[in-house]
């Protein structure tokens, strides 16, 4: 079977977990290279053990290989701003796993197919991937006036990069809840929980609606999209049936849809409690696989 060659740029934890996801799935991609900047990194050592070509020369070997068409950038926002232009000039799709947000926000269950011609797409944040589809599920039944998402993750699963960019996380996630989820107003709140043993990622979503609506249709819509997400993030589940509660809001006493969900990691490289990281790598794999299928179909058309 013909496959599209892909590369991972960044041999840290995110890149390593993504490597295992690509290797364990018999999809439309072939992992051709893992490239970082630290010759002694664990990620490069693990890739080499798996028979994957490796390099510690950063983006250069990726740019030099014309057969690599999909590049997962698991470096940093600062680095991606430099990488994006170089990848675009070489005609390579950049799946941006950093907060750089140069390309359009993408959530696989909501708008991936709207951006199949884009050459740079951004995966927002773990909170964005976990909660934006839930807000969208409500909004496709009835307009959402306000959405508040609280993303709680184990402190041990939060790296220094995320800690240094909390404001960026808040802004990016809230923007996605508006732009993709459809909320008129949005707020995102991250919580880093230091509990021992570490907790799984949990998310609380509160959606305020200002008009009459079919509660059963909203609940069915949310359950349906949660099932779609679990097809590529197996540990994604709702913590009970969503419900509607009437609450006092700045706009008066209004119906509020309350949705709780949990994300348990697959344990490919990260511990299972790090569902916040797992949903990012699982979403990245899904995006890459769909793009690869799109590239393959385009090849068939041109033959």
Q: So which residues are the catalytic ones?
A: 126
How far is the C-alpha of 149 from the C-alpha of 147, rounded, in Å?
Answer: 7
How far is the C-alpha of 80 from the C-alpha of 237, rounded, in Å?
Answer: 32
Place of tokens 């959405």: 147
Cis peptide before 197 (omega within 30 of 0): yes
Helix (H, G, I), strand (E, B) or coil at 2: coil
What Cα–Cα distance (Å) separates residue 49 from each residue in 33, 42, 144? 13, 11, 49
Q: Per residue in 232-253, is it b (16+ CB within 10 Å) or e — as a string?
A: bbebbbbeeebeeeeeeeeeee
Regarding beta strands 243-249 and 201-208, do their DSSP bridges make them parallel or antiparallel, or are they unpaired? Answer: unpaired
What is the number of other CB atoms lying within 10 angstroms of the CB of residue 213? 16
**Of the candidates 235, 239, 228, which has an alpha carbon nearest to the alpha carbon of residue 286?**
228
Burial class (CB in 10 A: 0-12, 13-18, 19+), 301: exposed
What is the number of other CB atoms lying within 10 angstroms of the CB of residue 161? 14
> How is residue 74 annotated by DSSP?
-
Strand partners, 152: 191, 202
Helix (H, G, I), strand (E, B) or coil at 122: strand
């Amino acid at each position: 079977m013909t496959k599209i060659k892909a590369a991972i740029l960044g041999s840290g934890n995110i890149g390593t977990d993504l490597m295992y996801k690509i290797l364990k799935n018999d999809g439309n991609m072939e992992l051709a290279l893992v490239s970082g900047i630290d010759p002694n990194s664990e990620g490069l050592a693990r890739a080499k053990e798996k028979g994957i070509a490796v390099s510690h020369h950063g983006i250069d070997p990726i740019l030099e290989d014309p057969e690599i068409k999909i590049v997962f950038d698991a470096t940093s926002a600062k680095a991606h701003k430099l990488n994006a232009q170089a990848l675009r000039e070489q005609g390579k799709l950049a799946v941006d796993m950093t907060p750089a947000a140069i390309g359009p926000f993408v959530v696989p269950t909501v708008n991936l197919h709207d951006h199949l011609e884009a050459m740079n797409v951004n995966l927002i944040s773990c909170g964005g991937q976990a909660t934006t589809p839930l807000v969208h599920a409500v909004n496709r039944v009835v307009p959402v006036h306000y959405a508040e998402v609280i993303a709680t993750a184990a402190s041990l699963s939060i790296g220094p990069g995320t800690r240094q960019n909390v404001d960026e996380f808040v802004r990016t996630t809230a923007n996605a809840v508006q732009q993709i989820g459809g909320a008129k107003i949005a707020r995102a709140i991250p919580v880093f929980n230091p509990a021992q043993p570490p907790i799984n990622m949990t998310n609380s979503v509160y959606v305020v609606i200002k008009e009459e609506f079919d509660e059963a249709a909203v609940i069915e819509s949310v359950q349906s999209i949660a099932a779609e997400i679990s097809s590529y993030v197996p540990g994604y589940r709702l913590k009970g049936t969503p419900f509607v509660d009437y609450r006092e809001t700045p706009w008066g006493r209004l119906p509020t849809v309350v949705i709780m969900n949990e994300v348990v990691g697959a344990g490919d490289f990260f511990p299972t409690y790090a569902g916040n990281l797992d949903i990012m790598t699982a979403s990245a794999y899904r995006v890459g696989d769909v793009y690869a299928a799109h590239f393959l179909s385009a090849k068939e058309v041109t033959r």
